[in-house]
Amino acid sequence: MLKNKLKINLFGEAWTLKRITISNEQKNDWEKIALKMNQSLCQAIIDPYFYYILNEDTIQSMNDLVLIKIGGLINNQKNQIEIWYKNRKVQKLKINDLQEELLLFPLYNTSVSRINPDYETGIYIEQKEIGLIGSYEIRMNDFNINNLEFHLLEVDGMIILKNLKYQNQNLKSVKSDALITFQNGFEVRDSIQD
């Protein structure tokens, strides 16, 4: 029986880019609602009042939309990673500690992926949050920091902590307590003109 709890808390600022997937029929209906609100569809989607007017049982907020997203904890002076095992703080890190460019031997199991977002046609929401970005928990018998994997992502010149794994198992966030500090909606359209 797995008794001991490993808990990893990510504090700081997070960046997320979400692409909304909706049908053309939905988009036309939503544009009519946005027009009544005297807003563009991109701005209406980030307005909570839009979902009240939409009055759909399955879509109560922006979080209920079908989204494709990338994001994670931003590497800046505010980030902090706390690793707890058996209710004791085992390690306290910054994302800079995970980037071992000047070390002979790596201290942590880290992988870095570089992507250049290819903005397909669609509606996007860019968001920043600050606070407890995620609290990850898993039960185990014995903890070894060498089995913990940190997945970093370099996107648009920004380094973010995207994902955590323990023994090749993705860790899922069980709690977050963050405040949205920035939100923007925009649309990418086809470059071909009719």
Q: What is the secondary structure of 52-120 as a DSSP string?
A: HHH-BTTBSSGGGS-EEEEEEEE-STT-EEEEEETTEEEEEE-HHHH--TT-SS-SSEEEEEEE-----
| CA–CA dist 31, 160 (Å, integer) | 34
| CA–CA dist 9, 7 (Å, integer) | 7
86: in domain: yes
- pLDDT, tens only, 1-32: 668 899 999 999 999 999 998 888 999 999 99
87: in domain: yes
106: in domain: yes
41: in domain: no
How much is the average pLDDT of 176-191?
A: 88
163: in domain: yes
29: in domain: no
- pLDDT, tens only, 84-141: 999 999 999 999 888 766 555 567 888 888 887 677 788 999 999 999 999 999 988 8
pLDDT > 70: percent of the chain: 93
- pLDDT, tens only, 147-174: 999 999 998 889 999 999 999 889 989 9
| CA–CA dist 145, 151 (Å, integer) | 14
DSSP 121: S
154: in domain: yes
- pTM, rounded to two decimals: 0.84
99: in domain: yes
Instruction: Kindly report the average pLDDT of the chain as a whole number.
Output: 88
* Count of structural domains, the chain: 1
| Full domain range(s) for residue 105 | 4-11+73-117+130-182
